[in-house]
Amino acid sequence: MDKVLSFHQGRLPLLISIPHAGLKLTPAVEKGLVEQARGLPDTDWHIPRLYDFARELGASVLAAEYSRFVIDLNRPEDDRPLYAGATTGLYPATLFDGEPLFKETLEPSADERKTYLETIWRPYHDTIRRELARLREAHGYALLWDAHSIRSLIANLFDGKLPDFNLGTFDGASCDPRLAEQLQAACAQAPGYSHVLNGRFKGGHITRHYGDPSHHIHAVQLELAQSTYMDEVAPFAYRQDLAQPTQAVLRKLLEVFLAWGRAHYG
């Protein structure tokens, strides 16, 4: 395999994970996709660009290179469902709207998918694990921010329009509840934006698996409505007029995250 991830090591106890912004496809996946999937509509579009200020803050940043249509890095390797109702798995079989992802009989083989697990999924998770261990060793604690986005209207996945900022802490299990309260308060102070904690999106595998407050690792997922920074229809253009104020809120959230860590751990 070629390059499967990009990683920047920062100086602060914060790792930002971006598992669903990748655009690369393997030959088998590209060959099998239905026509409406070829534009990669379920991508977390432009998230690395939206968080381009994070390196300046001093955060470590990890981003996937391959599309979630190849393998979903925010699902467990045993493919246990994370949500009741409609969802997608480790190897997605449908688009978010419920339509088949692959042409009939053209899904990647079991051997190909085993290769994806070993050469794409595992290096990403090995990097998370090593970096969190390094941060905790260096600082006494580690903060993990799992950065996502999604179209604000997807009838197959949720009713109505999604709130702008969807914070997930696995119902309080992945981070200190006082931290979650401070992040909610920061969202509430952002005029013109809506937010929710542990609504439709409570945090996927990354948040649930690595968040371990009892061992000083606090993980939060943010599922951001794409209407806050881009056009939600192809060609999915980045909208600077929308993105700039949204970036200001994201920066504030990460600053609150870091300030809480300093105050809590001294």
Average pLDDT over residues 199-207: 95
What pLDDT, on a 0 to 100 scale, did the predictor assign at position 5? 98
What pLDDT, on a 0 to 100 scale, did the predictor assign at position 266? 83
Q: What is the pLDDT of residues 176-198, one digit of tens each?
A: 999 999 999 999 999 999 999 99
What pLDDT, on a 0 to 100 scale, did the predictor assign at position 157? 87
Between β-strands 217-225 and 142-150, what pairing exists: parallel, antiparallel or unpaired?
parallel
In one-letter notation, the amino acid at residue 24 is K
Q: Virtual CA dihedral for 104, 108, 109, 114, nearest 10 degrees?
A: -150
What pLDDT, on a 0 to 100 scale, did the predictor assign at position 53? 97
In eight-state DSSP terms, residue 160 is S
The neighbouring-strand residues paired with 225 are 150
What pLDDT, on a 0 to 100 scale, did the predictor assign at position 64? 98
* φ, ψ (nearest 5 deg) of residue 29: -70, -45
Whether the per-residue pLDDT at 87 is higher than 70: the answer is no
Does 154 or 85 have the greater pLDDT score? 154
Average pLDDT over residues 135-163: 95
Does 66 or 88 have the greater pLDDT score? 66
Strands (DSSP E) contained in 19-89 are 60-64
Q: What is the pLDDT of residues 8-22, one digit of tens each?
A: 999 999 999 999 999
Q: pLDDT tier at 84 (50, 70, 90 boundaries)?
A: low
Q: What is the pLDDT of residues 39-59, one digit of tens each?
A: 999 999 999 999 999 999 999
Q: What is the pLDDT of residues 117-133, one digit of tens each?
A: 999 999 999 999 999 99
Whether the per-residue pLDDT at 226 is higher than 60: the answer is yes
Query: CA 48 → CA 51, 55, 81, distances in Å?
Result: 5, 11, 27
Residues 6+ apart with CB under 8 A from 62: 5, 6, 7, 8, 15, 16, 17, 18, 124, 127, 128, 131
Average pLDDT over residues 99-116: 96
In one-letter notation, the amino acid at residue 74 is N
* φ, ψ (nearest 5 deg) of residue 113: -70, -30
Average pLDDT of the residues of the chain: 95
Of the candidates 191, 203, 169, which has an alpha carbon nearest to the alpha carbon of residue 249?
191
Lowest mean pLDDT of 30-39, 82-91, 156-165, 211-220, name the range.
82-91
Query: What gap in Å lies between CA 79 and CA 77, rounded to an integer?
Result: 5
Whether the per-residue pLDDT at 34 is higher than 80: the answer is yes
Average pLDDT over residues 160-174: 97
Residue found under tokens 């013109």: 192
State which H helix or E strand residue 134 sits in: helix 122-139
Threshold 0.85, pTM exceeds: yes
In eight-state DSSP terms, residue 94 is B
What pLDDT, on a 0 to 100 scale, did the predictor assign at position 1? 55
Of the candidates 259, 254, 21, 16, which has an alpha carbon nearest to the alpha carbon of residue 135?
16
The radius of gyration computed from the CA coordinates of the chain, to the nearest angstrom, equals 18
Which of 88-92, 151-155, 241-245 is modeled with the greatest confidence?
241-245
Give the domain range for residue 72: 5-265
Query: CA 191 → CA 195, 233, 245, distances in Å?
Result: 11, 25, 10
What pLDDT, on a 0 to 100 scale, did the predictor assign at position 86? 52
Say which CATH number the domain at 80 has: 3.40.630.40
What pLDDT, on a 0 to 100 scale, did the predictor assign at position 2? 79
Query: What gap in Å lies between CA 55 and CA 49, rounded to an integer?
Result: 11
Query: What gap in Å lies between CA 148 and CA 198, rounded to an integer?
Result: 14
Helix/strand/coil percent split, the chain, to 5? 35, 20, 45
Of the candidates 24, 219, 208, 192, which has an alpha carbon nearest to the alpha carbon of residue 135?
219
Residue 86: Cβ-neighbour burial (10 angstroms; 0-12, 13-18, 19+): middle
Q: How many domains does the structure of the chain reveal?
A: 1
Whether the per-residue pLDDT at 262 is higher than 80: the answer is yes
Whether the per-residue pLDDT at 85 is higher than 70: the answer is no
